[in-house]
Chains A and B, each alone.
Chain A
Amino acid sequence: DVKVTQSSRYLVKRTGEKVFLECVQDMDHENMFWYRQDPGLGLRLIYFSYDVKMKEKGDIPEGYSVSREKKERFSLILESASTNQTSMYLCASSLVLGKRGNQPQHFGDGTRLSIL
């Protein structure tokens, strides 16, 4: 079975802290993604990665960075947390098959992050 694991379900941090959100998948997927989900805005893509050490900016990368040192692990980093980064963060992974986005993404349970 497909499994995407996010390190924490709930996390509370303070403004200015450096925050790490970890995501691990066990399906040997090439693609990995980080989204944030806010009421009324759906899911918005922060960063994604096609392969180890590769990363691409999504729609809202400001204030975030990512790291992918191993194929199965994709980390999201909040360099200096701010209250407007309080949100639900979702990690996903998918296979690459052809050049079109024709493979479903598989999601983790999400991390609800609060910045105080």
Chain B
Amino acid sequence: AQKVTQAQTEISVVEKEDVTLDCVYETRDTTYYLFWYKQPPSGELVFLIRRNSFDEQNEISGRYSWNFQKSTSSFNFTITASQVVDSAVYFCALSEQGGKLIFGQGTELSVKP
């Protein structure tokens, strides 16, 4: 069965610290996509990144970076020099056939000034 696990329920850091959010997935598919979403207190889920299973290159976007490792079925998300505005719930998701997504339970990140 397909599954996404975000073992960290809550993380609390102080501003400017680096923080890594873990995501481990299970799938029998050879072709799949992984996503990260951010949900700020306002409620809307904001799409951050999509990665396909054939592309294991790490990606960096400003203070955000993603480490995709197929060998360990992980797709971890690192925020460098965290800021208070990064406080949100972050969801990792795995694609299913037909455009459906399977979401992890989410990690609530709190960045304190």
Contacts and interface: CB of A to CB of B under 8 A. Distances in A.
Interface of A: 9, 31, 33, 40-45, 48, 50, 56, 58, 88, 90, 92, 94, 96, 99-110, 112
Interface in B91-110: 91, 95-101, 103-106
Q: Which of A96, A104, A107 has the most CB of B within 10 A?
A: A104
Nearest to A40: B105
Contacts of B52: 102
B101 A110 contact: no
Nearest to A107: B45
A102 B47 contact: no
A102 B9 CA distance: 27
B91 A43 contact: yes
A104 B35 contact: yes
Given A40-B9, A41-B105, A43-B103, A99 B43 contact: no
Interface of B: 9, 31-33, 35, 37, 42-47, 50, 52, 91, 95-101, 103-106
Contact of B95 (A33, A45, A96, A102): A102
8 shortest interchain CB distances as A-B pairs: A101-B95, A107-B45, A110-B43, A42-B105, A43-B103, A104-B47, A101-B99, A42-B103
A71 to B, nearest CB: 15
Given A99-B97, A105-B101, 17 more contacts: A42-B104, A43-B103, A44-B103, A94-B99, A99-B98, A100-B33, A101-B95, A101-B100, A101-B101, A104-B35, A105-B47, A106-B47, A107-B37, A107-B45, A107-B46, A109-B42, A110-B44
Given A31-B99, A50-B98, A94-B99, A104 B44 contact: no
Contacts of B44: 107-110
A40 to B, nearest CB: 6
B32 to A, nearest CB: 7
A50 B97 CA distance: 12
A45 B4 CA distance: 14
B92 to A, nearest CB: 9
A102 B100 contact: no
A33 B103 contact: no
